[in-house]
Amino acid sequence: MKHEKDWYKELVIYQIYPRSFKDGNGDGIGDLKGMIEKLDYLKELGVNAVWMSPVYASPNVDNGYDISDYFSIMEEFGTMQDWEIFRDGAHARGIAIIMDLVLNHTSDRHIWFEESKKSKDNPYSDFYVWRDPAPDGGAPNGWMSVFGGSAWEYVPQRKQYYLHMFAKEQPDLNWDCEEAREKIFDIIRFWNEKGVDGYRVDAISYLDKGLDGRADFQETIGTVACANLEGTHRYIREMAEKTFAPAHLMSVGEVNINNEQDSINYSSAKSGEFNMAIPFVPPIVEIKTWSPERLKEDLERDYQILKEDGWWARFLSNHDKPRQVSLYGNDELYWKESAKMLACYLHTLPGTPFVYQGEELGMTNVQYHSIEEYDDIDTKNYYMSMLSDGASEEDALAESQSISRDNSRTPMQWDDSAYAGFSTQKPWLGVNPNYVKINAANQMQDDTSVFRFYQKLIALRKEHPVMVHGDFALCCPKKGPVIAYTRSFQNETWLVIHNFSEKEQIFEHDRIQGTETIILSNYDERAKERGKIRLRAYETMILELQDKNKR
Ligand code: NOJ
Ligand code: CA
């Protein structure tokens, strides 16, 4: 596919977590064959891009985010030929392919690392971040890894420590080494040649470790200590220029955003880095701090910062977060209403929407009964650290359950047959028992389903440029659970209103006539009144406002 400069603005990107999407060969693990089988489903949903979480060879310590060979496909997922069939099938249906690039670290089983750890004078010696022990023989500084424990691991052969921001099986690459950078860019060039349309770039805020002349012996998380340094931006610009930017391949960085400048650096066109950014917020922080008020503040701020020269990646879910309907909605009494409200919110904001597999069915968090049922390395480490801090098993399990990344990694719920139609074998991770009620087969036969609602929103985006290019202005009180805004483009103005609560709310707006067209809503009927709207539990609606001058 050839791409125009701003084509990424018109995408609706569907994220596939391949391990959990569809098993095509009956071994309990999702794979490319399964993805090929479901291309028509994606076409029917209407998305025009797919981002697949990593499918490269990997020992799977962190489910593919630890890559041992960037030029081949993980055996469990199939072959390069399968990948090509998927690519061609997607392209034939007008669906762009976005690959996940994990370039902050490799697997410890990557040949570069296996060589690098052997000695201080081998061709790959400098490809990773090695440091001598501290004077007392301990780690070079007090940095902790994101998944818990020290971020340094000692290798007796080299008599040195290497840095790993994530698991110890994920050694960080040394971007200060020019030769390593060129080899990394070769990976991207290889996938460019294979016809990829864009990239989601993993954990990319930590390329410059800023270690020289600095010894932090206090314990601090490494990714916090070195986020967003100048060298990191320099390396990202170099990568963009040399690889994805010239052909206008779409790019989104998974980044750490602490202030306005960070947003500008990563997501404005003039910075020459990415088209847009996915800010990483740890689930435990999100669960404790989110509120409709916070969402409003963030929306306003992010819009102002980037409206001239930047763009926004919009997402409520991904493979690192709990399910959106469980987190921001109500996954019991108002399951359907709140799943639809969140969908409408996602698709009507300025920016490119990202739909995470299963959210179009309203899939929910899962409740396992013991820690053994979990797979996620982060959940397991978190559980163990709670136990060693003195928590009871019951409390540790309850807290791990609410933050676990496995909530979003349970197998896709295709139908109500055994294992939710995901596989004919027991899947690698337990299916959510609610598949009997929540599944694709059901929803495709029901015009009022969450799936059909997503389909409508995606179709609307293709028909109405106001959803893509419209100006955005909040028009609701700062306080309270109602989030409302207008989107305007040329003569068209849409008013979008959401009630982020189960309590009835009154929303007032002087341009409401009571006679305007309702473009979409999650309730059937509405009392017609002038100047105000009574919102029911998790009610959402898009109204087309009449032209100001024609009133
Ligand atoms: C972010 C990815 O989304 C996550 O799944 C992974 O564990 C870390 N980066 C490390 O690659
Ligand atoms: Ca399989």
Q: Pick the catalytic residue: 66, 76, 208, 254?
A: 254
Q: Which atom belonging to ligand 1 lies closest to the Cα atom of 318?
A: 3
Q: Which of 9, 2, 532 is nearest to 269 (CA)?
A: 9
Residue 357 has pLDDT above 90, yes or no: yes
Q: Which ligand is in closest contact with the Cα of 147? A: 1
| Per-residue pLDDT at 235 exceeds 90 | yes
Q: What is the pLDDT of residues 457-497, one digit of tens each?
A: 999 999 999 999 999 999 999 999 999 999 999 999 999 99
> Could you give the CA distance from residue 322 to residue 5 in angstroms, rounded to a whole number?
34
254 a catalytic residue: yes
Residue 261 has pLDDT above 80, yes or no: yes
Report the pLDDT value the prediction gives residue 225, as an integer from 0 to 100. Answer: 93
Nearest to 498 by CA among 532, 515, 521: 521
For this structure, is 121 an active site residue?
no
Task: Of 213-227, 414-428, 431-445, 490-504, give the lowest mean pLDDT range.
Answer: 213-227
Give the mean pLDDT of 191-219.
Answer: 92
* Mean residue pLDDT across the chain: 96
CB 202 less than 6 A from any atom of ligand 1: yes
Six-digit token pair at 414? 């295709």
pLDDT band at 77 (very low <50, low <70, confident <90, very high): very high
Q: Among 16, 18, 17, 22, which residue's Cα sits nearest to residue 425?
A: 22
Our answer on whether the CB atom of 172 is closer than 6 Å to any ligand 1 atom is no
Whole-number Å distance, alpha carbon 147 to ligand 1 midpoint, is: 10
User: Backbone phi, then psi, for 186, in 5-degree steps?
Assistant: -60, -35
According to DSSP, residue 46 is labeled T
Ligand nearest to the CA of 25: 2
- In the reported structure, the alpha carbon of residue 77 is separated from the centroid of ligand 2 by a whole-number distance in angstroms of 6
**b/e per residue, 39-66, with b = 16+ CB within 10 A?**
bebbbebbbbbbbbbbbbbbebbbbbbb
* The predicted structure's pLDDT at residue 546: 87
pLDDT band at 216 (very low <50, low <70, confident <90, very high): confident
User: What's the whole-number mean pLDDT along residues 210-237?
Assistant: 90
Distance from the alpha carbon of residue 339 to the mean position of ligand 2, in angstroms:
30
Asked whether 203 lines ligand 1 (CB < 6 A), one says yes
Q: Which chain residues have CB less than 5 Å from ligand 2, an ion? A: 23, 25, 27, 29, 31
Longest Cα–Cα distance in the chain: 80
Q: In angstroms, what is the span from residue 446 Cα to ligand 1's centroid?
A: 36
pLDDT for res 263: 97
Q: Ligand 1 mean position to 319 CA, how many Å?
A: 9
65 CA closest ligand 1 atom index = 11
**CA dist list (Å): 379 to 100, 148, 203, 321, 441:** 22, 10, 19, 12, 31
Does the pLDDT of residue 527 top 90, yes or no? no
- What is the Cα–Cα distance from 49 to 11, expressed in whole angstroms? 6
% pLDDT > 70, the chain:
99
Among the bound ligands, name the one nearest to the CA of residue 170.
Answer: 1
Q: Show the beta-strand stretches assigned E in 23-90.
A: 49-52, 56-57, 69-73
pLDDT classification of 1: cutoffs 50, 70, 90:
confident
- The atom number, within ligand 1, closest to the CA of 203 reads 9
- Give pLDDT, residue 259: 96
Phi, psi (deg, nearest 5) at residue 314: -110, 125
Residue nearest to atom 6 of ligand 1 (CA): 65
Q: Are 470 and 494 in contact (CB under 8 A)?
A: yes
CA distances from 288 to 28, 280, 282, 544 (A): 34, 15, 10, 35
Mean pLDDT, residues 419-423 taken together: 98
pLDDT grade for 528, boundaries at 50, 70 and 90 = confident
- Residue 549's pLDDT is 61
- Catalytic hit among 202, 208, 273, 360: 202
For tokens 């955005």, name the residue.
472
pTM for this predicted structure: 0.97
Please give the structure tokens belonging to residue 116: 């690098």
Q: Per-residue pLDDT tens for 136-195?
A: 999 999 999 999 999 999 999 999 999 999 999 999 999 999 999 999 999 999 999 999
Contact 461, 12 (CB under 8 A): yes
Contact 331, 295 (CB under 8 A): no
| Tokens 């070769």 found at | 186
Say yes or no: CB of residue 57 within 6 Å of ligand 1. Answer: no
Does any ligand 1 atom lie closer than 6 A to the CB of residue 102? yes
pLDDT digits (tens, 9 = 90+) for 83-99: 999 999 999 999 999 99
Among 318, 320, 376, name the best residue to mutate to test ligand 1's pocket (greatest count of ligand atoms within 8 A of Cβ).
320
pLDDT of the residue at 468: 98
What does the block give as tokens for 440? 């694709």
Identify how many contiguous H helices and E strands the chain contains and give both numbers: 18, 22
In percent, the amount of the chain with pLDDT more than 90 equals: 96
pLDDT of residue 218: 83
The rounded Cα 154 to chain-centroid distance in angstroms is 32
Question: Residues 265-284: pLDDT tens digits?
Answer: 999 999 999 999 999 999 99
66 CB within 6 A, ligand 1: no
Q: Residue 476 has which token pair?
A: 């609701």
CA–CA distance, 323 with 328 (Å, rounded to integer): 9
Say what the pLDDT of residue 212 is. Answer: 82
pLDDT band at 111 (very low <50, low <70, confident <90, very high): very high
Question: Which pLDDT tens digit goes with each residue over 305-333?
Answer: 999 999 999 999 999 999 999 999 999 99
